[in-house]
Amino acid sequence: MPKAKRILLALTGASGMPYAIALAKALAATPDLELHLIASEAAAKVLTLESDLTLDDFARLAARVYSQNELDAAPASGSWRHAGMIVCPCSMASLAAIAQGLGHNLIHRAADVTLKERRPLILVPRETPFNRIHLENMLRAHDAGATILAACPGFYHKPQTIAELADFIAARALDLLGLPQGLQRGWKEEE
């Protein structure tokens, strides 16, 4: 096992890049953690539409970056150990592929491997409203071992910015992986 924990973050072409940016920044700042990134071609386009970042800018936060077409990359194998995978934002097409076990690209294959190895897999769908197919795919992914973390931030902390809303979801993902985070206090936790 490597000295640093590896976390795999995959970006698909769904809207919601502020969530991915908040997550990547928090993960990159976590001691003894090595961030690995997979980005789809559509994600690179959406990233530039929803932020001032390019994929190259975003990639500077990661120890290693893979394209969706690198089906022979390390995350495609169960012998490549990591502490969890987050797909954020998770498009409904990627959710469907993951739920059905279809390994068309590295994101889908790495998610499938994460499930088969019983490692944490967090899917952050951003679509709304959900149709029956979306809901069934979420349930199928859940039943296979994934955690569905819908991008539905809370408001009890009285957010003032979009960044605070994104931090809320990033904090929940880090909590689910058992990683320390300073983005968001829990309900009624002391300051």
Q: Which domain covers residue 28, as residue numbers? A: 5-176
Residue 18 maps to a domain: yes
Percent of the chain scoring above 90 in pLDDT: 82
- Helices marked H in the chain — which ranges? 17-28, 41-50, 55-59, 92-100, 106-116, 132-144, 162-176
Residue 182 maps to a domain: no
Residue 170 maps to a domain: yes
Residue 187 maps to a domain: no
Whole-angstrom Cα distance, residue 76 to residue 110?
5
Q: What is the pLDDT of residues 74-108, one digit of tens each?
A: 999 999 999 999 999 999 999 999 999 998 999 99
Residue 172 maps to a domain: yes
Q: ∠90-111-93 over CA atoms, to 5°? A: 40
Q: What is the pLDDT of residues 107-122, one digit of tens each?
A: 999 999 999 999 999 9
Residue 56 maps to a domain: yes
Q: What is the pLDDT of residues 5-28, one digit of tens each?
A: 999 999 999 999 999 999 999 999
Q: pTM of this prediction? A: 0.94
Residue 190 maps to a domain: no
Evaluate if residue 153 carries a pLDDT over 80: yes
CATH (domain of 95): 3.40.50.1950
Question: How many structural domains does the chain have?
Answer: 1
